[in-house]
Amino acid sequence: MRVVLSAIILIAMFIAAYVYWWNQVSGQLLAEATQWEEARLKEGYEISHTAFEISGFPYRVKLSTQDINIRNPLHERKPKLEMEELWLIAQPWNITQFVFGTAGPLTTNWSHKNSLRKMTITPEEFIGSGDFTLDGKIENLALDIRRADYQFSWQSSFFVERSQIHTRPAPDATDIEIDIAVQIDNVDIAEGGNPYLGDNIKTIDITGTLKGKIDRGNLKGSLQSWRDDGGILDLTKIDIKWGPADVVADGTLTLDGKMRPLGAFSTKIAGYRQILQALAKNGRIQVELAATAAFGLDLLAKTNEQGIKTLTMPVTAQDGGLYLGPVKLMDLTPVFIR
């Protein structure tokens, strides 16, 4: 009888301890969310939402809120983000890892010159995950957006089957370096979108390392500081399959003194003739230049086992121009234009 009673007492103590711990974790999660919001408010953001709700006992701690509106009136473009619902889940026995997601469309708008631009993303599923460090910073982050419609006020819409983004601190890095991986599958461009190489992009697969710190705040100023401090984007893999074009590349990219792309890439390009024709058709390069370049590149290209001509040649962005080998294809504008 004593053994049974002792077991019952131990179980009761364990349950009580677990309930206490679950409440501690939920309270900490709520406190972190509140502190983040208060910090943004001090920076001048305008934030509104329903009261935070805590649920999920006993297996998880879920923090959720609805009708989220976040606006930065101090930014020159006055961006605003709206969401129907945002939730975050942590496990009581592993509080450094979390999963988050949204429900319903995400809408953002901002001022552009004398007009207001608006973008709405309506996904079937929007899920993310990450890891907290011991000092509360997010170390690893992943996003997975499935079957999403992208609507724009200034251009045609498109549908994306799946988008995945992963970031993490680069292993063994001696400075600020973040590994980035982006994979986008099956982009269907709406009719009237004037697609360069067809209305379906089969895949965009990019991996690389962002070297240097980009501060939060004014993006233009942050990028200027990143460039001035020697920041670069080291791209170890670029693989784009769009209609007849198949481009594989790697290289480095940064910004020049006029905020224009500056970089050099090793590339292997199938469908280069169609790319030149598309650029000419859309007025990006002269028709005569496209014809001349295609003729010259045919002499340098090699035919692979599938009978497709493939061109291996450096692509550079320098002095405000994009070059395929020695041939200038087009001018490059600054990444920020007022």
Mean pLDDT over 158-175 rounds to: 87
Q: What is the predicted pLDDT for the residue at 180?
A: 95
Return left, alpha or beta for 16; rule: phi > 0 is left, psi -120 to 50 is alpha, else beta: alpha
Please check the confidence at residue 132 and state whether its pLDDT lies above 60: yes
Q: What is the predicted pLDDT for the residue at 252?
A: 97
Mean pLDDT over 163-169 rounds to: 93
Over the stretch 49-94, which tens digit does the pLDDT of each residue have? Answer: 999 999 998 889 999 999 999 999 988 889 999 999 999 999 888 8
Hey, what amino acid is at 200?
N
Quote the mean pLDDT of the chain. 89
pLDDT band at 186 (very low <50, low <70, confident <90, very high): very high
Non-local CB neighbours of 165 within 8 Å, separated by 6+ positions: 141, 142, 143, 180, 181, 182
pLDDT band at 194 (very low <50, low <70, confident <90, very high): low
Please check the confidence at residue 338 and state whether its pLDDT lies above 60: no
How many CA atoms, within 13 angstroms, populate the side-chain half-sphere of residue 110?
A: 12
Distance CA(233)–CA(115), nearest Å, equals: 32
Rounded to 5 degrees, φ, ψ at 245 are: -95, 140
pTM above 0.85, yes or no: yes
Tokens matching residue 324: 């395929």
